[in-house]
Amino acid sequence: MALQEKLAIASDHAGLDLKSSLVRSLAEQGFEVMDLGTHSTESVDYPDYAAAVADAIRDGQAQRGILICGSGIGISIAANRHPGIRAALCHDTTSARLARQHNDANVLALGARLIGPQVAEDCVLAFLSTPFEGGRHLRRVEKLG
């Protein structure tokens, strides 16, 4: 995990509080965090925020991303529609670690209504500290396009 790694993070209105908490925590740990919104509890459309993170990664402004909505499902589906994005919806540190280790996921999706802030922070740390294993997994990841 490179401390100079730039992360893009975004959420819809349901994920705002969790996103704000993660932004503070990541900044305290030395990560450069691009907070791409939303910044209020007014209802918004999660695909717009998935697109913002996908664009930041595609354009090289960020190496990896974190997306949050109520369940994490919609925002992960939206993110995976973008070329080059491998978003993984995770609910625990094991799934976050395996998303990186076996799938080379570059976006972590979280459900704010399904996990608490400590579990979310643990997932983020597992996601950011786990390298892609490569080997037999590389061939499979390459088939994802």
Active site residues per annotation:
69, 102
Which residue shows structure tokens 């076996």? 102
Tell how many helices (H) and how many strands (E) occur in the chain.
6, 5
Output the CA–CA distances (angstroms, integers) from residue 137 to 102, 115, 144, in the order listed: 6, 28, 11
129-136 contacts: CB < 8 A, separation 24 or more? 129/1, 130/96, 130/97, 130/100, 130/101, 131/100, 131/101, 132/100, 132/101, 132/104, 133/101, 133/102
